[in-house]
Amino acid sequence: MSVVPSARRAFASEFWRGARRGIPIIVASAPFGVLFGALAVQNGFTVGEAVMMSATVFAGASQMVGIELFGKAIPAWMIVLSVFAVNFRHVLYSASFGRRTSHWTGWQRALGFFFLADPQYAETERKAEAGETIGFAWYLGIGLPMYLFWVVDAWLGALFGRLIPDTHALGLDFLLPIYFVGLLMGFRKRPLWLPVVIASGAAAMVAHAFVGSPWHVSIGALAGVVLAAAMPVGDEARKTYAESGDRAGGR
């Protein structure tokens, strides 16, 4: 009857709509979350430290790179820099995410950034592309359950890592590439999709061969983005930009 319960119901239903979109993500990331926990312990982490890394960093690829480097006598700042290199793509996500969530409060956005991993970014872009507003409840629905599972995955892996079944025969080690291909195809209607894929793919492969992982991610991503930015600007975009300048008082 009153306003509050119905607002709460709306929040809950939005949250569950997001959570349902998040189920494939939880499935795809689970093997890696568990593997991370197992490898972390093998590389000298305590169970608590492994769980803490998943709970505070929440970025799979960079966590893997991080524990990989711990095993070797590599200075701490190099490890942190490598994590930064793997995660540099998030700078691009962040810039775009800000455009999609300009109606959020500052605190909501500050929390949202914490959950801004690859799948959350992809789902947000896809929803925005469909012309829908990105609700805070929906975003929490897609971010929070995956986060909780990610932390539990690390804990299970750290505790029971030695019991992991044959991930190769079950195909679990290759779930993420399959998942990323599916995400990639979802954006194929965007302008310049194919040229960007070709440019980024070629640059990433060359960088992977000559510079090495993890730098191929940043180098490959920048190649595609620079290509798209360098293309001639359409008349319509130019006009919109000029008009927005007039409104803002010009400069």
Partner 1 sequence: MSEIGWIVLAAAAMTYLTRAGGHLVLSRFRRIHPRVEAGLNAVPAAVFTTLVAPAAMNATPAEALALVVAALLGLRGGMFPVFLGGGLVLIAGRYLLG
- Kindly state the smallest distance separating residue 156's Cβ from partner 1, in Å: 19
CB atoms within 10 A of CB 117: 21
- Token pair belonging to 26: 């939880």
- Kindly state the smallest distance separating residue 17's Cβ from partner 1, in Å: 15
- Kindly state the smallest distance separating residue 10's Cβ from partner 1, in Å: 25
Q: Taking the CA atoms of 156, 176, 60 and 209 in sequence, report the sign of the dihedral they define.
A: positive
Nearer to partner 1, 159 or 227 (CB): 227
Nearer to partner 1, 11 or 126 (CB): 126
Nearer to partner 1, 1 or 194 (CB): 194
Nearer to partner 1, 11 or 228 (CB): 228
- Kindly state the smallest distance separating residue 25's Cβ from partner 1, in Å: 8
- Plot region of 124 (φ>0 → left; ψ -120 to 50 → alpha; else → beta): alpha
Q: Report the length, in residues, of the chain.
A: 251
- Kindly state the smallest distance separating residue 29's Cβ from partner 1, in Å: 12
Query: How far, in Å, are 26, 66, 241 from residue 138 at the CA level?
Result: 16, 31, 31
Nearer to partner 1, 11 or 225 (CB): 225
Residue in the structure block whose two tokens are 């975009």: 237
- Kindly state the smallest distance separating residue 11's Cβ from partner 1, in Å: 24
Instruction: Say whether the peptide bond before residue 191 is cis (omega within 30 degrees of 0).
Output: no
Nearer to partner 1, 124 or 135 (CB): 124
- Kindly state the smallest distance separating residue 205's Cβ from partner 1, in Å: 5
Nearer to partner 1, 7 or 129 (CB): 129
